[in-house]
Chain A
Amino acid sequence: MTERVETQGISGEHYNFAYLDEQTKRMIRRTILKGIAVPGYQVPFAAREMPMPYGWGTGGVQVTAAVIGKNDCLKMIDQGSDDTTNAVALRNFFVETTGVDTTTKTKDASIIQTRHRIPEETLTKDQVLVYQVPIPEPLRFLEPRETETRKMHALEEYGLMHVKLYEDIAKFGHIATAYAYPVMVQDRYVMDPSPTPKFDNPKMDQMEALQLFGAGREKRIYAIPPHTKVVSLDFEDHPFEVTKFEQPCAICGAEEVYLDEVILDDDGNRMFVCSDSDFCEERRDAGHVGHLGTNPLEAEGND
């Protein structure tokens, strides 16, 4: 993977394949290997400055750049969709710097980079799921100091987290964390799954695909190797529950998937549709129709 590709998209300059130089990629791969060896442990790495802002996916982009090869097929999603603006921008970045094939179809992708969602379709052993992570430290909002949280992880000192969850129950009757819901990885490290909705948490458990997490600004990489135990934190008398939607997808009829709420008019009428746009499209192509039939927004000529 040492060849250079023409990247006319970026000011006519020539950059290395996948933008990063080979030494940097090696450094990131070593970090990834360490992360895989110690599932759920946040490995510090010397994140580079990337040509997109910190907080906009620089960690995920660096991980993808380190593992991508010219035969890969990349899918890039944000909020479950391939068409969100930042997903479009990041996909273009890899098209320009690698020339690899891209796809919107989950099953055709060898690498899927995501922000805030795990695809609905079950991932396989030939796939890598790369998460963009803003704050990798699950204990950060309980203890702002890195020096302290690293100690807490080292000593497996997670009492503070359980107290927080318990206080939620005492106050609201529920664990009041709806996204970035903390998980325990292989009975050792408490890990932040990135701000995915807790609906997606069970998919992480025993997943066949390799899961890699990149936090650029915070300079951390962590990983969940295939077939690893991932358990959402809970209590015996308050077991973890996934979000349930009261209605199926309005346009493909899918149930037990994560839905986005779309406000339709000034009267506050709304519909719920699949957050995973590829999953929804596949279903509609296969002839499934929801209770609103076709997409009401498309029908109005809303391109």
Chain B
Amino acid sequence: MYVAVKGGEKAIRNAHKLMARDRRGDTSVPSLGLKQISEQLYLSVSRVMAEGSLFDAELAALGIKQSRGDLIEAAFLMRAYRTTLPRFGYSKPIDTAKMLIRRRISATYKDLPGGQLLGPTFDYTQRLLDFKLAADGEAPAPETQEFEKEEVVPRVTDLLNDEGLIEPDEPIAPDTPVGDITREPLTFPADRDLRLQNLARGDEGFLLALGYSTQRGFGRTHPFAGEIRLGEVEVDFFMEELGFEVPLGTMTVTECQMINQFQGSASAPPQFTRGYGLVPGQGERKVMAMALVDRSLRAEELGEEIDSPTQDQEFVLSHSDNVQATGFVEHLKLPHYVDFQSELELIRKVRKEWQEKREAAEQELVAEAAQ
């Protein structure tokens, strides 16, 4: 367009004003506070922290408010902010065995050291709309009890490992550099650390669908939920200048260890294999799906046949990022009239030739019939 786009600057300004008005909605209704969002919509906040790749509940709450509850847009806001932050270094690996546990369940054992702890979950609730909530009824506070804070709850995979039934974690040398897809472009084949980082930032819906597809037979992995745990872990940072580690604080994480069947190969005995999922905040669906996808992506390393989308690194890792996906899908609404014009010219030309050819053929037929 030539003229219609003049004044674009003013149009943009006004569009943003209108959006701000719509975001606020009816001004007789109180505006949302960030605390209300981070306290009462914590699962949304968790998703935004995971996909936005930044552990900060208050910023995530701001993103959710600013984006009118569009969680992908909120994750995008987090990413764009995160990219401007200086990088001081990488923390020491967190130790989830030392987690201060709020929920911990295993589907593979009836009982186990550390016990089953149901914790805060939607599981086993009746999915009935609760009209008391609509009437703003406060739920009764749960009873509390003292507990041993220092308790270490061993991971199920460590228990299995004692027997050699599950593959051990790959030993990693202490000076191994940490892969980081936000600092180096992703190349294929990608190692597992990069794959896990990609999945942890990946879209929950995309991973859910992929994980589900493996359960339905597109690259079956025979999974068991060995363990899911939720709680707080300490994050430590090694200070070069001081020569020792300092705690930076605690963060909430959800972790899932899937245990998968494995027939064994020439080099490895039959044993269970692992699929792993971990996200900041509370994101049980995400970590379970992530663990399924992680295990499927190990097909090549385990010598399995690759014939399903979820086993295909390039397919999964190139399309898991919803900030990238939404940007590219939605860029189709940008003007494309220059390319479209060249297509118009081409299709007119090709159609004209087609018509001419057809008319010529028809005339030939008429001439033949006349003979």
Contact = CB atoms under 8 A, between A and B. Distances in A.
| Most A Cβ at <10 Å: residue of B334, B337, B338, B349 | B338
B30 interface: no
Contacts, number: 154
A261 B329 CA distance: 25
Interface string A36-63: 0000000011111111011110100000
A19 B331 CA distance: 22
A183 B344 CA distance: 22
A179 B6 CA distance: 25
B339 A174 contact: no
A85 interface: yes
Contacts of B183: 46
A88 B8 contact: yes
Interface string B49-89: 00000000000000000000000000010011011101000
A145 B341 CA distance: 30
B3 A295 contact: yes
A47 B185 contact: yes
**Number of chain A interface residues as a range:** 35 or more
| Most A Cβ at <10 Å: residue of B2, B186, B331, B346 | B2
Contact of B76 (A53, A180, A195): A53
Contacts of B343: 178-179
Contact of B327 (A56, A145, A172, A302): A56
Interface in A145-180: 145-147, 172-174, 176, 178-180
A179 B331 contact: no
B242 interface: no
Given A147-B188, A179-B339, A298-B3, A88 B9 contact: yes
Interface in B293-320: 314, 318
SS of A interface (majority): loop
A102 interface: no
A55 B328 contact: yes
Interface in B327-366: 327-331, 334-339, 341-346, 349-350, 353
Nearest to A47: B185
Nearest to A262: B2
Contacts of B84: 15, 19, 21
B5 interface: yes
A51 B80 contact: yes
B324 interface: yes
Contacts of A173: 350, 353
A81 interface: yes
Contact of A261 (B5, B186, B335, B341): B341
A53 B324 CA distance: 8
B182 interface: yes
Contacts of A174: 346, 349-350
A46 B184 contact: yes
Interface in B172-218: 182-189
Contacts of B3: 262, 295, 297-298, 302
Contacts of A147: 188-189, 314
A277 B314 CA distance: 41
Contact of A195 (B6, B80, B339): B339
B334 A86 contact: yes
A84 B5 contact: yes
A56 B83 contact: no
B311 to A, nearest CB: 14
A117 B338 contact: yes
A49 B82 contact: yes
Contact of B186 (A85, A89, A219): A219
Contacts of A265: none
Nearest to A80: B338
A49 B323 contact: yes
Nearest to B52: A49
A199 interface: yes
B83 A49 contact: yes
A243 to B, nearest CB: 5
A147 B189 CA distance: 8
B1 interface: yes
A21 B86 contact: yes
Given A116-B339, A298-B3, A261 B344 contact: yes
A45 B349 contact: no
21 contacts: A21-B84, A48-B182, A49-B182, A49-B323, A53-B323, A53-B330, A54-B328, A55-B324, A55-B329, A79-B338, A80-B338, A84-B335, A85-B5, A116-B338, A116-B339, A145-B314, A173-B353, A176-B350, A197-B338, A217-B327, A219-B186
Interface of B: 1-9, 11-12, 76, 79-80, 82-84, 86, 182-189, 314, 318, 323-324, 326-331, 334-339, 341-346, 349-350, 353
The 3 closest A-B pairs by CB, nearest first: A54-B327, A55-B331, A53-B327
Interface of A: 15, 19, 21, 44-51, 53-56, 58, 78-81, 83-89, 92, 115-117, 134, 144-147, 172-174, 176, 178-180, 195-199, 217, 219, 243, 245, 258-262, 273-275, 277, 295, 297-298, 302-303
Given A86-B334, A147-B189, A178-B346, 11 more contacts: A48-B182, A49-B79, A49-B182, A80-B338, A115-B334, A172-B350, A173-B350, A174-B349, A197-B338, A261-B341, A274-B2
